[in-house]
């Protein structure tokens, strides 16, 4: 998935632990073979190749993942959108950008983006992209989904504790070998050497989205590398969002959406999901819980 996975297993048998780690690795590879938009023979690649041409029948697992992604699009009015993959790259975040692209260029960059043009058919589990040139990608929630599925696999096998860390999309279960709960320290990007909050995890997940490492600074204003797929403009106002809750996939959907929606609109979104807790840092360094 273009990301580093770190798998931790609690076990008194190192040989068995290694076997279980391999099983998680196999599960991640299985999921990548289903949803990668880089590998040419996956279902997602076939859907993208046939945009505007024909619907593609997919396994129920892929269908339901797509359905959940569209649900996020609906509750965020398009702030989250897996069809962002068709967006033209008109913004640069390598330090070279000195001015904002003109409005027509930005408008043109999202012409093939729009979740409402992803057509699902429940009867035969097909997915059709209505417009030629459309693409979908699970770069936003795919890692979290894989982490959740790795945890689910281990729980099903009776493994007493562990962590699946998909480059920061973390799913945990059970406890540490010393009997204590898993804990994660959250830092403020403006003060990275100081832990601002300790979050205790038990059979739960934690995910962070942010613009503190990759952004453009134009006329003193910070523009995130996370683009609002509905407008083509980068997210502003927030540098870091950490979400903790039952599912890494769902937490990632929330964190990505919050980066785009901003602090005020995100408050209403988070109220709908009391099992998920946030730690948001604005571009002024202010913390919002």
Annotated binding site for Mg(2+): 140, 256
The span from the CA of 177 to the CA of 9, in Å, is 10
Q: What share of the chain is helix, strand, coil (3-state, %, to 5)?
A: 35, 25, 40
Residue 186 burial by Cβ neighbours in a 10 Å radius (0-12, 13-18, 19+): middle
Q: Is 10 helix (H, G, I), strand (E, B) or coil?
A: coil
Nearest to 246, CA basis, from 104, 135, 144: 144
Q: Which residues are annotated as a binding site?
A: 140, 256
CA distances from 216 to 54, 59, 230, 284 (A): 39, 40, 19, 16
Of 212, 204, 197, 136, whose CA–CA distance to 170 is shortest? 204
């Amino acid at each position: 998935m273009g990301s580093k996975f770190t798998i931790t297993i609690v076990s008194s048998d190192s040989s068995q632990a290694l076997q279980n780690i391999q099983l998680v690795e196999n599960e991640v590879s299985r999921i990548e073979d289903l949803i990668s938009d880089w590998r040419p023979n996956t279902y997602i690649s076939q859907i993208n190749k046939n945009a505007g041409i024909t619907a593609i029948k997919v396994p129920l697992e892929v269908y339901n993942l797509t359905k959940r992604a569209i649900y996020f699009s609906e509750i965020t009015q398009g702030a989250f959108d897996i069809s962002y993959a068709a967006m033209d790259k008109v913004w640069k975040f390598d330090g070279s950008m000195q001015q904002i692209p003109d409005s027509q260029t930005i408008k043109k960059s999202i012409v093939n983006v729009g979740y409402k043009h992803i057509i699902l058919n429940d009867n035969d589990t097909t997915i059709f992209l209505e417009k030629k040139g459309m693409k979908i990608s699970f770069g936003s929630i795919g890692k979290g989904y894989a982490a959740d599925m790795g945890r689910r696999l281990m729980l099903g096998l009776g493994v007493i504790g562990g962590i699946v860390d998909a480059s920061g999309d973390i799913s945990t279960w059970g406890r540490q070998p010393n009997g204590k709960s898993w804990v994660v320290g959250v830092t403020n990007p403006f003060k990275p050497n100081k832990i601002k909050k300790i979050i205790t995890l038990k059979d739960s997940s934690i995910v962070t989205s942010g613009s503190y490492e990759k952004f453009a600074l134009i006329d003193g204003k910070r523009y995130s590398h996370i683009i609002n797929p509905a407008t083509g403009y980068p997210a502003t106002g927030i540098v870091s969002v950490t979400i903790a809750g039952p599912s890494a996939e769902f937490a990632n959907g929330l964190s990505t959406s919050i980066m785009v929606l901003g602090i005020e609109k995100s408050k209403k979104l988070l109220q709908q999901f009391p099992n998920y807790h946030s730690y948001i840092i604005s571009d002024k360094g202010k913390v919002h819980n």
